[in-house]
Structure 1
Amino acid sequence: MAGSELLFSMRLPSPEELAARIDHAVLRPEAGLRELEAAVEELERLNLRCLILSPTLLREARGLTRRCLGAVVGFPFGYHTVESKVKELEDAIGYGADEIDAVTNLQLFIAGRREAYINEARALVEICRENSVKCKLIVDAALVDKSLYREALEALLSATEPDYVKTGTGFGGRPTQPEDVVIAASVIAARGLKGRVRVKAAGGIRTGLQAALLIAAGADVIGTSRPRQLLEDYRSILPLLTSGAH
């Protein structure tokens, strides 16, 4: 138990506090109105942070709840043109999005088009800011090696200041890892942006232990498609994780 006691000597959130840090993602292409209505019910009953949707479902959801609603842009791989992303973003804002989770174009960065990569991100952040909408920029750590992931984050944060950087989409081939969060948090701190830019961990997060490890690594928000199951699991293991912490 010594390792567990050391790792979780920090205070972990209560289940209720964790719920308030969870974004519920409803992004499967086959999700319809029945899934949307169930997600809205969970959003309100569990007091989740936000519900993240496709622009199509966002249009339907705004009439169902006054709670936080977000939309994805350039999802899931981000290789859309900047013009199409801007239009998608503007549409989502028009549909009532409170937050935007936008996938950055790693193809540009890998191809050496650093300025185009930065300019796209800057444009998306500026449109969000002009409309008082929170912006999360996604650099999918599952798609690239750790070095390139760090370099892409450094490039973004050298030129723009989103509300959050986000570690994945859930379509990248592996779950997000604590190291992904640590890298993002370290780049934020190195840029002097701690407290101004936060970290959202997302991608394959399904268990309470995953959530605890990611929070311990520095995640401010957890994205998951299974909030109820995750919270039930977290509630069951929390006493074990904190039994030696003081």
Structure 2
Amino acid sequence: MQINQYIDHTLLSPTATLDDIKRLCQEAIEYHFYAVCVPECYVSLARNYLTEYPIRVAATVGFPLGSMATITKITQAKNCITQGASEIDMVINIGFLKSGLDDKVEQEIASIKKAIGDHVLKVILEISYLSNNEKQRATTLAIKAGADFIKTSTGFGSNPVTPEDIILLKEFAGTDIQIKASGGIKDAKTAQLLIKAGASRIGTSAGVNIVT
């Protein structure tokens, strides 16, 4: 297992500076990570830094709460793609899901997927806030809406992701959608267990620690 090629090397801190993002990109180059994941405002910086490398740029949309209007998320997603992102990590409207507004949740995901075309869409469920029934519904909605991944957490949720979380989501997802594990992943052993459980991508700010 070449674990570096599972990693979205991530920096989403509100205090992240230009130099911090450049350092993130340099680490991604040095350790051959699959992607970097950055806020919208740093997409063009990351893309320009990584121009000569096959490292993808993922950008967050509706982050971290998911409660923005759909049109706002669509505008964000389009801008991220224009600035050079090849993947979008969007947060679902958790309140709508909990209110039983499944059609609205699905329509929002589908609208963003339509807006970004062939680019990869990952749907952040923020599972620490969800019941098992809500996790299953959210997974089904993401599949129906044409998303490419479900993702466990923004990293701002209350609990770290576990292999058991991934096994459960895999039961709901089957082979219809991939799973990105994120939230509190700090070491290689945890990352390997999450991959074994069914994750095909790892989102972490500890990528260097994991591979070294």
Same fold (TM over 0.5): yes
Q: Count how many residue pairs are aligned between Structure 1 and Structure 2.
A: 209
Of 98, 114, 119, 1:126 maps to: 114
Query: C-alpha separation between the residues in 2 aligned to 1:144 and 1:34?
Result: 36
Which of 63, 70, 82 in structure 1 is aligned with 2:58?
A: 70
Structure 1, unaligned runs of 5 or more: 1-12, 233-246
Larger Rg: 1
Q: Is residue 52 from structure 1 mapped to residue 37 from structure 2 by the alignment?
A: yes
Q: In structure 2, what residue type is equivalent to 1:90?
A: K
Gap regions ≥5 residues in structure 2 = none
Q: Deviations over 1:62-117 (max 9, x none)?
A: 22112311100001121111011011111111111111101111111111211111
Aligned to 1:138: 124
Aligned counterpart, 2:133: 147
Of 18, 27, 34, the residue aligned with 1:42 is 27
- The percentage of aligned residue pairs carrying the same residue is 27
Name whichever of 180-189 and 27-36 sits farther off: 180-189
Secondary structure of the corresponding residue to residue 170 of structure 1: coil
2:157 pairs with 1:177: no
- 1:214 deviates by 0.6
Q: Quick one: distance in 1 between partners of 2:61 and 2:24?
A: 20
Q: Structure 1, residues 161-181: CA drift from partner, whole Å, max 9, x if none? A: 211111111011111111221
Q: What does residue 177 of structure 2 align with?
A: 197
In structure 1, the residue matched to 2:14 is: 29
Q: TM-score, normalised by structure 1?
A: 0.82
Superposition misfits of 4+ residues, deviation over 4 angstroms: none
Over aligned residue pairs, what C-alpha RMSD do you find? 1.2
Q: Post-superposition shift, 1:156?
A: 2.8
2:63 counterpart letter in structure 1? F
